[in-house]
Structure 1
Amino acid sequence: MKILIQRQNLVQAIQNVQKAVSGKTTIPVLTGIKIVASKEGLSLTATDLEIGIETRVPTHIEEDQIVNVIEEGAIVLSARYLSDIVRKLPSQQVEIEVKQNYLTIIRGGKSEYNLHGLDHEEFPRLPQVIGNQVFSIQSDILKDMIRQTSFAVSTEEIRPVLTGVMFSLKKGTLKFIATDSHRLATRESVVEAPEDLEIHNVILPGKSLNELARLLADDSSLVDLVVADNQVLVQMDKTQFYTRLIDGQYPDISRIIPSNFKTGLTVKTKELQGAVERASLIAKEHENNLVRLNIKGGGIEISSNSPDVGKVSESIEDVSITGDDLLIAFNSKFMLDALRVIDSEELLIEFTGSMSPFLVKIPDNPSCLHLILPVRIY
């Protein structure tokens, strides 16, 4: 194998696939990136057996030649060393040549590195995801859906299904749900899908989705999702992302979302976020990061009290309140996680009582919903 490639394009391709390189493994080939050179250009692949990423660098982008494949072939090179070397090379063009016994020469400017490679035949093949459950969604919307839900997955392995985000598709509406049993986040969006296509109980690992989000473009380009029995394939412009699914039945969350409310609170998102952040400075982690919200007399008070540290209170008067007065306590981390992903100037919080779950919503926009369980204070 022998190629010439524009350095910046190679750097970008390495960064894309490097997210799937296995950090802790006893299988040496999984610490590497497989590079395949063909007449179409270059493809780079990495996998940790849970996720797999393959990205392509075409020979030409518009009129510019990006890759010149002098001799076709394949090699697996250490992801760590390949990334560091290519980023530091002084020239805009990189030459990669594979000799006998997988010895690989990387040249750029006056620098020349000799790296020991591995046989590409030892590298695991990415699964062939074939399925008729296919739909399309804008890249930036999918990225937002991940951002607004994946933070709520469980970090405990006791219930594996809760470490993932469950998605379903019905009548062209895609819904993401995540919960760790203390809080819940949901997000919906209309997608391009056959009218009769229905998908239920597909659980994507939260870690996989966070890696996917880093790959997704912040634009309206379409991304295809292909759902198979135990895999999902996400097809982007020049990159394919594979992830295994979590096996199991996701809990039915419809029963825990209240439909009747005694108190409603409309408040500026940033103002509430700032007040909770300031109160959380006093709240202690081993005491559930406890912050109190007191709705009384047409205003609200945010407070926190720690016997060892001190106390803090802050009032917010620019609010709209309906229903009964209320005193409720919650985990400030859970509330802040929700507030930070709400893209709205105002939010609506609906309460059914001091010991019942409460909902955080965007007024007049049902596509995004957060539920948080309160903390008992008496």
Structure 2
Amino acid sequence: MRFAIQRDQLLQGVQDVMKAVTSRTTIPILTGIKIVATEEGVTLTGSDSDISIESFIPKEEDGKEIVEVKQTGAIVLQAKFFSEIVKKLPTDTVEIIVENHLQTVIRSGRSEFNLNGLDAEEYPHLPQVAEENVFQIPTDLLKSLVRQTVFAVSTSETRPILTGVNWKVENKELTCIATDSHRLALRKAKLQTETEESQSVVIPGKSLTELSKILDDTSEMVHIVITENQVLFKAKHLLFFSRLLEGNYPDTARLIPNESKTDVVVNTKEFLHAIDRASLLAREGRNNVVKFSTVEGSGVEISSNTPEIGKVVEEIQSQSIDGEDLKISFSAKYMMDALKALEGSEIQISFTGAMRPFVIRPMNDDSILQLILPVRTY
């Protein structure tokens, strides 16, 4: 194998596939990056068997030559060393040559590295995905869907299914739901899809986070293919495979209250900053809890009290309060996470009592909601 390639393009490809490579793997060859040179260009692959990422660097793009392939072939190189080498090479072009016995030469300017390669034949094959259930969404919308839900997945392995985000496709609509059983994040998006089939899968939160990091903020379409145990995201020159979590996701529709006893409308930013200030003294105490109560004359009071440190009280004006008076306590962190995920300058919080879950929504937007369980503090 022998080819010359633009360093920046190679580095970008390596950094993308590195997101799937881990040093903690039972299959030693997966600590490497697979490099395949064909007449069309160079393909890089990284995998930890849960996530696999393939990045393709075409021979030329927009009339500019990126890769010159002199001899086709394939090799697996140690990811840790290869990525560090590429990052620090001195010139804009890199030549990679594989000699007999998998000895690999990486040349750039006057710098030359020799690496021992591994046989690419031994690298596990990527999952074969039959493209039957395909839908597509713009990249920037996909990134929003991930950002507005993935933070609410569980980090505890006691219920593995909750470490993923439930994606449901039905009636040309995608619904993404994440919950750790103390809070829930839900976001819907309309789809332009041909399939009428409904699907429900659970994608690991970790996979979605990594996917989001790789994708650029563009309006280009990402094609999404769902099979029984894999999901594939296809973007320009990039394939991202993730395994799906097995098991049934809990029926979250039951958790979301239909009616409310108290509705409060507040300015999102003002409320977020007030919660942030109240949490300054709550952090040391148990679970970072703040108290929220309605006060006469359409204001709300946010406070926190940690006996050994001190207390903080702040009142903010609300746009409106409808219904019963209310005192409730909740995790400041959960509330701040939820507020950061919502778009819009005003939000409505709907309470159904001091010990029942409450719902936060942006005004005039039904596509997104956040739900939080209160904390007992008496």
Q: Same fold (TM over 0.5)?
A: yes
Structure 1 residue 236 corresponds to structure 2 residue 220: no
Aligned match of 2:315: 315
- In structure 2, distance between residues paired with 1:195 and 1:132: 9
Residue pair 2:231, 2:244 contacting (<8 A) in 1 also: yes
Give runs of aligned pairs for residues 82-101 of structure 1, distance below 5 A: 82-101=82-101
Q: CA deviation at 1:193?
A: 0.9
- State the AA in 2 paired with 1:322: D
Give runs of aligned pairs for residues 210-249 of structure 1, distance below 5 A: 210-249=209-248
Q: CA deviation at 1:25?
A: 2.1
Aligned match of 1:134: 134
Aligned match of 1:288: 287
- In structure 2, distance between residues paired with 1:146 and 1:6: 32
- In structure 2, distance between residues paired with 1:165 and 1:85: 36
Q: CA deviation at 1:286?
A: 6.0
- In structure 2, distance between residues paired with 1:103 and 1:342: 53
Give runs of aligned pairs for residues 30-69 of structure 1, distance below 5 A: 30-69=30-69
Aligned match of 2:274: 275
Q: Specify whether residues 99 and 195 from structure 1 end up closer, same or farther in structure 2 by C-alpha distance, changes over 3 A only.
A: closer
Aligned match of 1:20: 20
Residue pair 1:171, 1:195 contacting (<8 A) in 2 also: no
Aligned match of 1:183: 183
- In structure 1, distance between residues paired with 2:253 and 2:26: 43
Residue pair 1:265, 1:349 contacting (<8 A) in 2 also: yes
Deviations 1:80-126 (A, max 9, x none): 11111111111000000011111111011111111111111111111
Aligned-residue identity in percent = 49
- State the AA in 1 paired with 2:295: K
- In structure 1, distance between residues paired with 2:19 and 2:38: 24
Structure 1 residue 207 corresponds to structure 2 residue 206: yes
Deviations 1:145-188 (A, max 9, x none): 00000100011111111110001111111000000000000000
Residue pair 1:36, 1:73 contacting (<8 A) in 2 also: yes
SS state at 1:3 partner: strand
- In structure 2, distance between residues paired with 1:29 and 1:327: 57
Structure 1 residue 359 corresponds to structure 2 residue 359: yes
Deviations 1:202-251 (A, max 9, x none): 00001011011112221110011111110011111100000000010111
Residue pair 2:134, 2:195 contacting (<8 A) in 1 also: no
Residue pair 2:164, 2:245 contacting (<8 A) in 1 also: yes
Aligned match of 2:115: 115
> Aligned-pair RMSD on alpha carbons?
1.1
How many residues get paired?
377
Q: CA deviation at 1:131?
A: 4.0
Q: Specify whether residues 245 and 314 from structure 1 end up closer, same or farther in structure 2 by C-alpha distance, changes over 3 A only.
A: same
TM-score, length-normalised on structure 1?
Answer: 0.98
- State the AA in 1 paired with 2:257: P
Q: CA deviation at 1:28?
A: 2.4
- In structure 1, distance between residues paired with 2:64 and 2:195: 41
Q: CA deviation at 1:23?
A: 2.6
Give runs of aligned pairs for residues 325-336 of structure 1, distance below 5 A: 325-336=325-336
Q: CA deviation at 1:306?
A: 0.4
Residue pair 2:133, 2:195 contacting (<8 A) in 1 also: no
Moved more, 320-329 or 240-249: 320-329
Residue pair 2:285, 2:306 contacting (<8 A) in 1 also: no
SS state at 2:218 partner: coil
- In structure 2, distance between residues paired with 1:274 and 1:78: 46
Residue pair 2:264, 2:318 contacting (<8 A) in 1 also: no
TM-score, length-normalised on structure 2?
Answer: 0.98
Deviations 1:284-315 (A, max 9, x none): 46622110011111101111110121111111
Q: CA deviation at 1:22?
A: 1.7
Deviations 1:1-38 (A, max 9, x none): 00000000001000111100023124321111000000
- State the AA in 1 paired with 2:254: R
Q: Which runs of 5+ in 1 are unaligned?
A: none
- In structure 2, distance between residues paired with 1:131 and 1:75: 28
Residue pair 1:94, 1:108 contacting (<8 A) in 2 also: yes
Residue pair 1:279, 1:313 contacting (<8 A) in 2 also: yes
Q: Which runs of 5+ in 2 are unaligned?
A: none
- In structure 1, distance between residues paired with 2:213 and 2:18: 11
